[in-house]
Amino acid sequence: MTKTPLLGMTLAELKALAKSLGMPAFTGGQIAQWIYQKHVQSIDEMTNLSKKNRELLSAEHCVGTMPHCDAQYSKDGTIKYLFPTESGKQVETVFIPDQDRATLCVSCQVGCKMNCLFCQTGKQGFEGSLTVRDIMNQVYALPEIERLTNIVFMGQGEPMDNLDNVLKATELLQAEYGLAWSPKRITVSSVGIKNKLKRFLGESDCHMAISLHSPIPEQRAELMPAERGMSIKEVVELMKEYDFSHQRRLTFEYIVFGGTNDTPTHARELVKLLKGLDCRINLIRFHQIPDVNLHGADEKKMESLRDYLNNHGITTTIRASRGQDIYAACGLLTTAAKEKLQFRNSK
């Protein structure tokens, strides 16, 4: 019999489950504490539940954490984990230590529908959205969970395309019975999807990161088909309706392609597009992927673009590239080859 996982359930759901099994509602709170604060791997470890209640719970349920099935280690300390999902697929997650910070880049889908020209995940195609358990498992099955300081939803997939599950996962991360994290420690990225983006901004206080990559609509549409669904101008106008001047932060991610989006014209258009918006820009080095005629910009071009934007009032930094030697850097995550290998091995 397949057991129902407890990981991914909210406190209200766990209390309702406890009551349905004839236990006091407060038992649901105890279960939540064991899973989300003490990180137990089995129901037997929940020692303040009676043996009878543990047996009752174990009959049809399990904690639900699934250990990683592969790990790759970069020379810079970055670790890329491969986690199984409920659907039998696999997903990549990247742990990035940096002095007193440790960031986890989590995925929300296997593959992606957005098909951005420069992204390896998009080349994989879309294979399904992750469940709340799948998302939370990347955190709770992480060997380095105690070291985490930040989580970014910048792995495989488009968070707004799996919005309900992403919102529930961020709720669990912030809950008092969970990690009890401030939303300032969580950043969710998006290419911009109509209605979904507005809903996320209204229902969450997490930091927002927008994939920009070109301020020129026609060019952005070539790089990112999502521009045709919600233009970057519409995204910016929506952002102006929210306050990013205090604790909540708005960042625009900008992969710099040599000779493509690093010209003085692009710099001027960026200033014009983002005028009056409290935001920052992250310039990101492009990592070559097969069969794509785009190239990274040289360091001088990136520094020139950064300096121009800073001098025109937009806080801009060049993001340090991490994990490139294990294909863990921005835009390189894919499980397509692993899925094919898994299929061949199962035949």
330 has catalytic annotation: yes
Is residue 294 within 8 Å of 261, Cβ to Cβ? no
Question: What's the CA gap between 241 and 97, in Å, rounded?
Answer: 34
**Per the structure block, which two tokens stand in for 239?**
């952002």
Q: Which helix (H) or strand (E) holds 221?
A: helix 217-223
Count CA atoms within 13 Å of residue 141 on its CB side: 27
Of 13, 86, 92, 234, the active-site residue reads 92
Q: What residues have CB less than 8 Å from 9, skipping those under 6 apart?
A: 17, 32
- Closest of 339, 295, 290 to residue 110, by C-alpha: 339
What is d(CA 302, CA 322) in angstroms, rounded to the nearest whole number?
17
Nearest to 80 by CA among 69, 88, 64, 89: 69
Alpha-carbon distance of 124 to 135, in angstroms, equals 19
Q: Which of 112, 119, 279, 330 is catalytic?
A: 330
What positions carry a catalytic annotation? 92, 330
